[in-house]
Structure 1
Amino acid sequence: METQLSGRGLYWKQLKGEMDRISDVSIGPLRDSKYIQCYQVSYKQNGKQRYWDCLRQHDSVGILIYNVTRQALVVVTQFRPAVYMSSNRPVWENSEIFTSGSLNMKADKGSESQVGPESDATAPKYGPSSEGMTYELCAGIVDKDIPLAEIAREEVQEETGYQVKTENLQYITSFWSNIGTAGSKQSLFYCEVTDDMIVGSGGGNQHEGEMIDVLDIPISTIDEFIVDESKKKSMGLCFGFSWFAKNVLPKQKNGQ
């Protein structure tokens, strides 16, 4: 089974080439972040003192997009550093920065207590960039005080280039992710698009460093795609595809 470029071929081929160029990988303590914060919860459960390490991060929206023209679900793919590092865990997990506990120290601006970079002949040798490429639904964080459907509409156009109206976004449900560490909430929407609704190249917000490719997954292959372990994918995507197979695909087959 092969995924397909979504109609802006030359742009996406060039973008994919840029995403493939991963180098100078290094690891260091967490610097000040506008996306996550680490904290520890202290509480008593049945009278016993307990502690839990947590992350504070934004809630998000996800959008399941069905292109009626192409009979395909629209997904995004991008390089995810956390997935890349997890895939390369044997390379770095026994390095001094972890065994010494220096990752638990707050990073000063300009500090360089790191593992790497890869160009150093003595540094760990990481795998190809493909080990960090993931398939996901179009999505975005909730960092604005506006309706969730409006955030979803903005993300659809920003990431995939399709222009949709908020009234055409169907709310499906919400669920909790990263429940062991963050407990963040994602609200899932569904919309249908056509090729006539493409108004831009998509690709994400380059000012925020996003580099996103857009792919079409033919609806005839979604069951196979969900269980294809060679494609690293989010649980939100798997749930969205399963919802589509149960709630929309039967109507398509019946011509409704």
Structure 2
Amino acid sequence: MNSNVKVIEEKILSNNWYVLKKITFDYRNQSGEWQTQAREAYDRGNGAVILLYNADNQTVVLTEQFRMPTYINGNETGMLIEACAGLLDKDNPEACIRRETEEETGYRIGEVQKVFEAYMSPGSVTEILYFFVAEYSKSMKINEGGGAEHEQENIEVLEIPFKRALEMIETGEIKDGKTIMLLQYAQIKGLL
């Protein structure tokens, strides 16, 4: 534990969808002075994300679905193109991403490779996201995907040429951070 932090109080502000807490704490700054601060932190659990790619066809599989937070922040349709992702829900990251890949995209993938992990919005969200890549082929398709019905997901599965996906970052058609990170990883590593 960090000896420069002393938690004074944790107060639950909401426990509706996930947990929103207000944390009051003392923090010793670089000059050695203690300051009392308060921050809100949203705990929705950790997650995993995967980029499915086909090196032979030079394509990637992405998803598109409605995201309310983007809608209320200026995304006119609320639709967002993303890499397949989901919350761990007590699974380990690899088991989670395999489950989510089948539910969302309809592909049952073989070998997956963890490439890195990152805090996506560390100023307010506790989540660590585990990033994966995996090759896919048409023979791995076991259903149409679209998400889990009980989770009210309405996911469209997109197969996009890799070069076009990179262009979509520049045009603003892809604005999702985790997806941009994985597409750029694939470009840097020469996966496609």
Paired position in structure 2 for 1:153:
98
* TM-score, structure 1 normalization: 0.64
Percent of pairs with identical residues:
27
Alignment equivalent of 1:163, drawn from 108, 113, 116:
108
Residue 186 (structure 2) aligned to one of 226, 229, 244: 244
For the 8 Å contact 1:67–1:195, the answer to whether it is kept is no
Count of residue pairs the alignment pairs up: 175
Q: Distance in 1 between matches of 2:107 and 2:154?
A: 17
Cα distance, 1:68 vs. partner? 4.0
Larger RCO, structures 1/2 (Cα 8 Å, 6+ apart): 1
Q: 2:127 aligns to what?
A: 184
Deviation per residue, 1:45-86 (Å, 9 max, x gap):
231111111211111000110034542111011000111111
Name which of 62, 67, 75 aligns with 1:80: 67
Where in structure 2 are the equivalents of 1:1-256 lying within 5 Å? 32-33=15-16, 35-46=17-28, 47-68=34-55, 70-87=57-74, 130=77, 132-144=78-90, 146-165=91-110, 168-229=111-172, 231-249=173-191, 252=192
Structure 1's consecutive aligned runs of 4 or more residues displaced over 3 angstroms after TM superposition are none
1:113-144 per-residue CA deviation (whole Å, 9 max, x = no partner) reads xxxxxxxxxxxxxx5xx2x0001110010112
Q: 1:32 to 1:52 in 2, by over 3 A?
A: closer
CA separation in 1, counterparts of 2:148 and 2:14?
22
Relative to structure 1, the CA distance from residue 75 to residue 210 in structure 2 (aligned partners, 3 Å threshold; closer, same or farther) is same
Tell me the distance in 2 between the aligned counterparts of 1:226 and 1:66.
17
Alpha-carbon distance in structure 1 between the residues aligned to 2:92 and 2:14: 31
**CA deviation string 1:185-241 (max 9, x = no partner):** 000111001111111010000111111011122122233122222x25211100100
Counterpart code for 1:135: I
In 2, are the aligned partners of 1:69 and 1:195 still within 8 Å (CA)? Answer: no
Aligned-CA RMSD value: 1.8
The unaligned stretches of length 5 or more in structure 2 are 1-12, 29-33
Q: Greater strand share, 1 or 2?
A: 2
- Could you tell me how far apart the structure 1 residues matched to 2:112 and 2:138 are? 17
Contact map agreement 2:45 2:126 (CA 8 A) in 1: no
Letter in 1 for 2:189: N
| Preserved CA contact (<8 Å) 2:168 2:174 | no
The AA in structure 1 aligned to 2:62 is V
Shift of residue 87, structure 1, vs aligned partner: 1.3
Contact 1:76 1:215 in 2 (8 A): yes
Q: CA deviation at 1:31?
A: 7.3
